[in-house]
Amino acid sequence: MVNYWLMKSEPHVYPWKQLVSDGSTYWDGVRNYQARNIMRDDMVVGDMVLFYHSNCKPPHVAGIAKVCKGAYPDHTAQDSESKYFDPKASVENPRWVMVDIEPVSAMTSVGLPELKSNGDLEGMPLLRRGQRLSVQPVDRKHFEIVCKMGGLPGIPE
C-alpha angle with apex 70: 66 to 75, nearest 5 degrees? 115
Number of H helices, E strands in the chain: 4, 6
Tens digit of pLDDT at every position of the chain (157 positions)? 999 999 999 999 999 999 999 999 999 999 999 999 999 999 999 999 999 999 999 999 999 999 999 999 999 999 999 999 999 999 999 999 999 999 999 999 999 999 999 999 999 999 998 888 999 999 999 999 999 999 999 999 8
Domain boundaries, the chain: 4-141
Question: Residues 6 or more apart from 93 whose CB is under 8 A from it?
Answer: none
- 3-state DSSP of 74-107: CHHHHCCCCCCCCCCCCCCCCCCEEEEEEEEEEE
C-alpha angle with apex 135: 117 to 107, nearest 5 degrees? 55
pTM over 0.85: yes
> What's the pLDDT score for residue 129?
87
> What's the pLDDT score for residue 78?
93
Pick the CATH number of 4-141 from 3.90.1150.10, 3.30.360.10, 1.10.760.10, 3.10.590.10: 3.10.590.10
